[in-house]
Structures are given as C-alpha cells and as structure tokens.
C-alpha cells in the first residue's frame, strides 16, 4: 500500500523541504530558524526511511538514522545551547529585505529546475524527479549564507545546504555508499563543533556575532 503511493509521498516530503528552505531565508528570528532547520532534517529523515522501505535499501535506514541523530536532535540542541549562552535571539541585519529575498529565491528555484531537468530525465531512481527541488534547496541555503551577517544563521545555512546535498544524492542514486555517509556525518559534526568555538571567539573578541567585524582585523 505504501509502495503504491511512494512517488507522491516522496514529492510531498521534497516539497516540504523546499518550503522550509523558503521559510528559512525569510526568517529573522534565530530560535525559529533553528526549529525550521530541525523540521527540514525531520522531512529528510522521513524521505530516507520511505525510500529505504520501497527500494529495500537498508543503507538508507542508516543514513536516515544518522540524519535523525545529528540534524534533528544533536545539532539543534547544541545550537539552542549556544544561542542561550551568547544571549542571541534576533538576526535583523540582512543584505536584502524579505520581499527581494523571496523574489531572488523564486529565481533560484526556476534556475535549479532548469538545470536539473535533463539529469532528472536520465535518472531511473524513484525520486529522480525531485532533483530540481534538491538543487533549489542547495542554492537557497547558499543564498542564506551570503545574505546573513551573523555567524549562527550562516552555520544553519551551511547545514541546510548539506541537507540538500544528501537529498540530491538520495533522489538520483537511491543513496550514497555508506562509507561516504559516515564521512559526511563526521565532517558535519566536526565542522559544527569548530564553528561553535569560532562563534564563541567572535563574541569574546567583539561582543557581537557580526562577522563583518572580522574585516577590521589587519596584520601588524
């Protein structure tokens, strides 16, 4: 019964991931931004588990489990803990206002679907048609990293981009090799820990998380 509606469910989860990416680029409250990232991770977990069940690929269960532990539980908990310690709640400084951001985001989605269409036609995977959505999520996350001036939203943008990369690999190939999955998970974990230390150092030095202050550093 589930297998019968699997393509529709995969498209539903893919659409949810894309909508959450749009919500993230327009969101200025950091606490809500972390929660949206957590929901995006949960949608990715659901898509991985569903594809694992339909394709009988047990590696996708492990991939989904890693995403659940890292992206839904551990990393959001750690980010909430960081912003409580740093007393950060708002990220009001962006290079673009919300309407302009949404218009640029729509343009990136159109571009992503245009680029992904030829590849999607060649893919025989169950979720191959969702490649455009995965690429759109990557571009939207990259845009969020560019247009935000605070360190915390940029970290979340980096992590959301990694969500898009995992979903793209899952959509086109029904999952990456497990050794690659573990390598990516380890890189993400180490990267987040390093970025956490980086944020504390910025706050200690400048009493703010605005990375533009780094431009004032000059060599003696």
Domain map (residue ranges) of the chain: 3-210
Alpha helices in the chain (DSSP H): 6-26, 30-55, 58-67, 75-86, 98-122, 131-147, 151-173, 178-206
pLDDT at position 2 is: 61
- Among residues 172, 167, 173, the alpha carbon closest in space to that of 16 is found at 167
- Among residues 83, 67, 86, the alpha carbon closest in space to that of 34 is found at 83
Query: pLDDT by residue (tens digit) across 82-97?
Result: 777 777 666 556 677 8
Query: pLDDT by residue (tens digit) across 165-182?
Result: 888 877 776 655 554 555
Determine the Cα–Cα distance for residues 108 and 42; give it in Å rounded to an integer: 24
pLDDT at position 91 is: 59
pLDDT at position 220 is: 45
pLDDT at position 188 is: 65
Query: pLDDT by residue (tens digit) across 103-157?
Result: 998 999 999 888 887 776 666 555 556 788 888 998 998 888 888 777 778 788 8
Determine the Cα–Cα distance for residues 116 and 134; give it in Å rounded to an integer: 9
pLDDT at position 166 is: 82
Query: pLDDT by residue (tens digit) across 34-84?
Result: 899 999 999 988 988 888 888 787 778 888 888 888 889 988 888 888 777
Does this model's pTM top 0.75? My answer is: yes
150 or 211, which is more confident: 150
């Amino acid at each position: 019964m589930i297998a019968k509606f699997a393509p529709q469910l995969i498209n539903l989860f893919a659409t949810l991931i894309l909508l959450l990416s749009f919500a993230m680029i327009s969101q200025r409250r950091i606490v809500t931004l972390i929660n949206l990232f957590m929901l995006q991770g949960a949608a990715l977990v659901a898509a991985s588990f569903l594809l694992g069940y339909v394709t009988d690929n047990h590696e996708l269960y492990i991939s989904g489990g890693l995403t659940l532990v890292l992206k839904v539980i551990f990393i959001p908990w750690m980010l909430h803990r960081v912003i409580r310690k740093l007393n950060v709640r708002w990220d009001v400084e962006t290079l673009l206002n919300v309407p302009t951001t949404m218009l640029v985001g729509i343009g990136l989605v159109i571009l992503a679907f245009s680029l992904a269409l030829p590849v999607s036609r060649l893919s025989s995977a169950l979720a191959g048609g969702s490649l455009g959505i995965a690429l759109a999520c990557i571009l939207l996350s990259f845009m969020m990293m560019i247009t935000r001036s605070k360190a915390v939203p940029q970290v979340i943008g980096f992590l959301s981009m990694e969500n898009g990369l995992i979903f793209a690999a899952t959509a086109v190939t029904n999952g990456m090799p497990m050794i690659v999955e573990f390598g990516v998970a380890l890189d993400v974990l180490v990267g987040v820990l390093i970025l956490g230390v980086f944020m504390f150092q910025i706050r200690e030095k400048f009493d703010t998380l605005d990375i533009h202050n780094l431009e004032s550093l000059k060599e003696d």
